[in-house]
């Protein structure tokens, strides 16, 4: 049943036939370039119908037919593979695809219809995108891939066993904390992948936009080092750093919408306005494009690496405890003061811990978020100015102006 639509046996039969044709058409198109391809535009629909028929008999008690049919087809694929080996061709993709087509035809009758549709469509897509997938593999950074794999593996192992309950007077929930780590890392990873794919080809301004999704502080530091090494690129580096800062506001807005949607109504317009101010300041930087410029942006870590994720979790816990202690001993002014001091480093852990505080008034939470961003913006301007003396005046003017424009948003609205 999909969206209230009833899939009758007749429609399931038609779907099994269509999915077989889909894979068969793809296999037939490859025969122009390859020999000994197992199956084509006729064979794969027949294989799918064979699976459907075996599933039909299975429903009527002939349970042995379904596995026997799969074994018989496997025997044919073995024969086809041996013939390929004699021709010194060693791929098994076509043979495995034929077995999957049989399973797809059977599931079209036996299971929820989306399972058969997903298997058939993904099967055809993987077959047709061979060249593109191989190109991705050729450009894959093995170290980054292994780091991502480790993070995902640890997440799959750790998250289910973490206790989903609060501990201590600070209401620390291990499962909720690790979920926050996953959310922040995933958002950053999207920017990391995009900057790897697009930033090096389209220039520093794209690197700035995408780097702001990963870490605007890290990208500002990288741009400052870049301007330090090559003064000719200082204007482009400054523009990229400011763009990364502008994107930071939108990234924080997305994170708040995920973890604390009740705050979005109070803070969304403030963050959008500050982001637009940053965009305007970035566009005010006059950039000369260097034809021979190296557009690679070093210094950004894969957010799915385990070490940054653990550091984020540790900072989140520490700042949650610290915020609670400051609130108890220094009240709301103490929390706002803490927001200013935390801005000199990564502000994500503080903002998310602040957003999850149940005892603070919404006005204090929103004010703390904006003050942390103010402090972080000034800190990034200082980082860039120290690293890139040739652009110090231009950087300070823009970052200080940007910081000052935070104040009316904090205190007047």
Q: Which residue has the higher pLDDT, 66 or 309?
A: 66
Report residue 80 CA to chain centroid gap: 40
User: Are residues 214 and 126 part of one domain?
Assistant: no
* pLDDT tier for residue 213 given thresholds of 50, 70 and 90: confident
Flag whether pLDDT at 253 surpasses 60: yes
User: Are residues 70 and 51 part of one domain?
Assistant: yes
What six digits make up the tokens of 337? Answer: 């003061």
* pLDDT tier for residue 144 given thresholds of 50, 70 and 90: low
User: Are residues 122 and 261 part of one domain?
Assistant: no
Tally of residues, the chain: 413
User: Are residues 211 and 112 part of one domain?
Assistant: no
Domain tally for the chain?
2
Instruction: Determine, yes or no, domain membership for 1.
Output: no
The predicted model gives 258-273 an average pLDDT of 88
Instruction: Determine, yes or no, domain membership for 4.
Output: no
Instruction: Determine, yes or no, domain membership for 64.
Output: yes
Flag whether pLDDT at 128 surpasses 50: yes
160-195: pLDDT as tens digits? 788 878 788 777 888 878 877 777 777 667 666 666
Question: Given 111, 136, 161, which residue is the final one in a domain?
Answer: 136
User: Are residues 121 and 85 part of one domain?
Assistant: yes
Q: Which residue has the higher pLDDT, 199 or 44?
A: 44
User: Are residues 246 and 175 part of one domain?
Assistant: yes
Question: Given 69, 102, 136, which residue is the final one in a domain?
Answer: 136
User: Are residues 105 and 186 part of one domain?
Assistant: no
User: Are residues 349 and 236 part of one domain?
Assistant: yes
Provide the pLDDT for residue 53.
94
The pTM assigned to this predicted structure is 0.63
Contact 255, 264 (CB under 8 A): no
Mean pLDDT estimate for the chain = 81
User: Are residues 192 and 121 part of one domain?
Assistant: no
Burial of 301 (0-12, 13-18, 19+ CB in 10 A): middle
The predicted model gives 387-411 an average pLDDT of 86
User: Are residues 223 and 81 part of one domain?
Assistant: no
* pLDDT tier for residue 70 given thresholds of 50, 70 and 90: very high
Instruction: Determine, yes or no, domain membership for 3.
Output: no
Contact 223, 240 (CB under 8 A): yes
CB atoms near residue 277 (< 10 Å): 19
331-386: pLDDT as tens digits? 888 888 888 888 777 788 888 888 877 777 888 888 888 888 898 899 888 888 88
Range of the domain at 380: 140-411
- Rounded distance between C-alpha atoms, residue 130 and residue 132, angstroms: 6
Flag whether pLDDT at 49 surpasses 90: yes
**At how many degrees (to 10) do helices 306-342 and 348-355 cross?**
70
The predicted model gives 225-241 an average pLDDT of 81
Flag whether pLDDT at 247 surpasses 80: yes
Provide the pLDDT for residue 36.
59
- Rounded distance between C-alpha atoms, residue 53 and residue 105, angstroms: 8
User: Are residues 68 and 156 part of one domain?
Assistant: no
- Rounded distance between C-alpha atoms, residue 51 and residue 44, angstroms: 11
User: Are residues 329 and 180 part of one domain?
Assistant: yes
Question: Given 136, 152, 175, which residue is the final one in a domain?
Answer: 136
Q: Which of 33-42, 89-98, 132-141, 299-308 has the highest mean pLDDT?
A: 89-98
């Amino acid at each position: 049943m999909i969206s209230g639509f009833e899939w009758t046996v007749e429609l399931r039969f038609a779907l099994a036939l269509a999915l077989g044709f889909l894979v068969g058409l793809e296999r037939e198109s490859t025969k122009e370039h390859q020999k000994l391809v197992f199956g084509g535009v006729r064979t794969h629909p027949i294989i799918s119908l064979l699976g459907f028929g075996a599933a039909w008999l299975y429903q009527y008690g002939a349970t042995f037919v379904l596995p026997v049919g799969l074994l018989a087809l496997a025997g044919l694929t073995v024969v086809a593979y041996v013939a390929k080996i004699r021709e010194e061709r060693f791929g098994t993709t076509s043979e495995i695809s034929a077995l999957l087509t049989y399973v797809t035809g059977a599931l079209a009758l036996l299971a929820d219809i989306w399972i058969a549709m997903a298997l058939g469509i993904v099967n055809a897509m993987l077959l047709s995108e061979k060249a593109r997938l191989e190109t991705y593999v050729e450009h894959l950074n093995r170290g980054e891939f292994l780091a991502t794999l480790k993070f995902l593996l640890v997440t799959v192992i750790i998250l289910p066993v973490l206790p989903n309950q609060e501990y201590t007077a600070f209401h620390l929930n291990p499962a909720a904390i690790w979920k926050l780590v996953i959310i922040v890392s995933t958002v950053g990873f999207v920017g990391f992948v995009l900057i790897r794919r697009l930033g090096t080809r389209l220039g520093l301004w794209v690197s700035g936009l995408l780097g702001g999704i990963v870490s605007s502080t890290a990208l500002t530091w990288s741009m400052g080092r870049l301007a330090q090494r090559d003064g000719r690129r200082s204007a482009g580096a400054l523009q990229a750093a400011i763009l990364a800062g502008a994107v930071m506001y939108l990234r924080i807005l997305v994170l708040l919408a995920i973890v604390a949607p009740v705050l979005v109504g109070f803070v969304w317009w403030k963050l959008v306005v500050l982001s637009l101010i940053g965009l305007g300041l970035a566009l005010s930087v006059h950039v000369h494009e260097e034809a021979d410029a190296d557009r690679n942006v070093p210094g950004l870590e894969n957010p799915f690496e385990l070490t940054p994720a653990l550091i984020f979790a540790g900072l989140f816990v520490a700042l949650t405890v610290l915020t609670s202690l400051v609130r108890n001993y220094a009240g709301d002014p103490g929390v706002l003061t803490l927001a200013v001091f935390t801005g000199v480093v990564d502000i994500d852990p503080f903002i998310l811990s602040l957003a999850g505080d149940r005892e603070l008034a919404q006005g204090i939470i929103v004010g703390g978020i904006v003050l942390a961003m103010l402090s972080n913006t000034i800190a990034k301007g200082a980082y860039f100015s120290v690293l890139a003396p040739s652009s110090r005046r231009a950087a300070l003017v823009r970052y200080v102006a940007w910081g000052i424009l935070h104040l009316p948003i904090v205190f007047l609205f």
